Amino acid sequence: MPLHIAIAGAGIGGLAAAAFLTRDGHHVTLFERFAAPRPLGAGLMLQPTGLACLAQLGLDRAAIAQGEVIARLWGETVSGKRIFDVAYGEIGPKVFGLAMHRATLFGILYGDVVRLGVPMVPATEIAASRLDVDKRLLIDTNGREHGPFDLVIDGTGMRSTLRRSEMRLAYDAPCRYGAIWGIVAEPAGWPHRGELRQRYDGCHVMIGILPVGHAPGDERRLTALFWSLRVADYAAWREAGLEAWKARVIGLWPAAAPFVEQIKSPDEMTLAAYADTGLRQPYGERIVCLGDAARSTSPQLGQGANLALIDAATLSACLREQADVATALATYAIQRRAHTRFYAIASRWLTPFFQSDSRSAALLRDLTFPLMGHVPYLRREMVRTLSGMKTGLFSHLDPGQWHPDYALAGPALSSQPA
Ligand SMILES: Cc1cc2nc3c(=O)[nH]c(=O)nc-3n(C[C@H](O)[C@H](O)[C@H](O)COP(=O)(O)OP(=O)(O)OC[C@H]3O[C@@H](n4cnc5c(N)ncnc54)[C@H](O)[C@@H]3O)c2cc1C
């Protein structure tokens, strides 16, 4: 039976959920705090898991056409020592990542939701909800109530206030390190297309170059440039001046000069701060969380948007297959548990090796990571981890469960790299 569903938050998870649930015949209304929904941030990477979910919506080809297919991830120290060099192709000829400008992914999902005619309520910040017999109402920050709805989906991200009354946080720890991100044009002759490249000095410096393809209305090939930074040092970074920072980046990584020289104002580098958050369980009566509202991690493994897309696909399948809302939400929580727990733990475990002040972590990383790269089993596990496929230390999933084009076995997509 079609349900009346409210989704708070028109981010990646909220938009994807609106697209899935509207296709299933439900009556969806989207609430967004901004007057016009918009993406925040610079670039991100979609993994085969997230791409398979986009494929269920018929949107993966548009994403591939506009993004940058990533075949390899490369990390090295400032002295040029290779820390990792992993190729998606290690686990299957058709496995690849897709780097995108956030605005591009957002535009693809938003365009789909507009085409489907999903009603949107902009400029409405949702603060809470309340149960009214067997329905749920949303309450905005002006005290206005919206609804009633059969189900409320919280897609308002890691700082959700909506979930507070119904769900309890299991942990909530701000990450000491964040990163500043900017988008620049790919310089002519850049030899590392199709690769995410990072350079480290200890664990306190990480510079990244991620080709992201095209942004809406921009013909240039673009690149996301990021620089790891302690959140508490952001004001000092601005104060020290852009030129000092540029000189430092170029000193540590001369090849980054044509990227960093394009930055003309500190405002072109946006600070992203992260937190490790998780819920005891991601649902309550007629309310459920997805994406960052359900859990958030440091983006070291680049999984957050993928997890949000999988959440949306799984939730819609549970509502389709289960007899009632309560059973569907409980099933959704069970189905998402192992996968999201693995990435929460793996991100927490890995982040200090790339973003911390620890000298011993740097030493250990520089000694052990290159060795791990020589063991084929461990290399494959590294790729599976990056590809968003791990569900436990010795288990993994196949993205083919969401769409046959992304099944590990089978013919390759025509538009992926050779
Ligand atoms: C620097 C950085 C790099 C990242 N890189 C990657 C990557 O490479 N790959 C990857 O998969 N993930 C990456 N992530 C993580 C990814 O961006 C998030 O996990 C993903 O955006 C979560 O989607 P979401 O829909 O849950 O939340 P969001 O995208 O945060 O969307 C939340 C939406 O809710 C709206 N909202 C918030 N509060 C309210 C309210 N009270 N009422 C109404 N609306 C509200 C917001 O305006 C927004 O539109 C990265 C994150 C960061 C910070």
Nearest-atom index, ligand 1, CA of 294: 26
pTM here? 0.96
pLDDT of residue 217: 84
Nearest-atom index, ligand 1, CA of 179: 1
pLDDT of residue 94: 84
Q: Which residues pair with 126 in a beta bridge?
A: 140
Q: Residues lining ligand 1, CB < 6 A?
A: 8-14, 31-34, 41, 44-45, 125-126, 155-157, 179, 181, 272, 274, 291-293, 299, 302-306, 308
CATH class of 41-101+176-273+356-418: alpha beta
Domain ranges of the chain: 1-37+122-175+278-353, 41-101+176-273+356-418
Contacts of 28 (CB under 8 A, 6+ apart): 5, 6, 7, 17, 18, 21, 22, 118, 119
Q: 413 pLDDT exceeds 70?
A: no
Q: Comparing 1-37+122-175+278-353 with 41-101+176-273+356-418, is the CATH topology the same?
A: no
Q: 111 pLDDT exceeds 80?
A: yes
On whether the CB atoms of residues 25 and 376 are closer than 8 A, the answer is no
The pLDDT-based confidence of 117 (bands split at 50, 70, 90) is: very high
CA 12 to ligand 1 centroid distance, Å: 7
Q: 24 pLDDT exceeds 90?
A: yes
Hey, whose CA ends up nearest to atom 3 of ligand 1? 299
Least-confidence region, from 93-97, 107-111, 115-119, 235-239: 93-97
CA 13 to ligand 1 centroid distance, Å: 8
Q: Taking residues 100-113, report their average pLDDT.
A: 96
On whether the CB atoms of residues 63 and 104 are closer than 8 A, the answer is yes
Kindly report the three-state secondary structure assignment for every residue of 64-119. Answer: HHHCEEECEEEEEECCCCEEEEEEHHHHCCCCCEEEEEHHHHHHHHHHHHHHCCCC
pLDDT of residue 303: 95
Hey, whose CA ends up nearest to atom 2 of ligand 1? 299
pLDDT of residue 93: 85
On whether the CB atoms of residues 11 and 17 are closer than 8 A, the answer is no
Distances (CA, A) of 82 to 87, 369, 412: 14, 9, 30
CA 200 to ligand 1 centroid distance, Å: 26
pLDDT of residue 167: 94
Q: Taking residues 286-312, report their average pLDDT.
A: 95
CATH class of 1-37+122-175+278-353: alpha beta
The pLDDT-based confidence of 3 (bands split at 50, 70, 90) is: very high
Q: Taking residues 321-333, report their average pLDDT.
A: 97
Contacts of 343 (CB under 8 A, 6+ apart): 297, 301, 303, 307, 388, 390
Looking at the chain, the whole-number percentage of residues with pLDDT higher than 70 is 97
Least-confidence region, from 12-21, 28-37, 135-144, 230-239: 28-37
Best probe residue, ligand 1, of 105, 292, 354 (max atoms within 8 Å of C-beta):
292
Residue 256 tokens, joined: 């980054």
Q: Taking residues 153-163, report their average pLDDT.
A: 96
Q: Which residues pair with 199 in a beta bridge?
A: 76, 207
CA 11 to ligand 1 centroid distance, Å: 6
pLDDT of residue 298: 87
CA 292 to ligand 1 centroid distance, Å: 6
Q: 38 pLDDT exceeds 90?
A: no
pLDDT tens digits, 369-379: 999 989 999 99
Residue 245 tokens, joined: 């920072």
Q: 39 pLDDT exceeds 80?
A: no
The pLDDT-based confidence of 418 (bands split at 50, 70, 90) is: very low
The one-letter amino acid code at 333 reads: A
pLDDT tens digits, 188-199: 999 999 999 999
- pLDDT averaged over every residue in the chain: 94
Q: 231 pLDDT exceeds 70?
A: yes
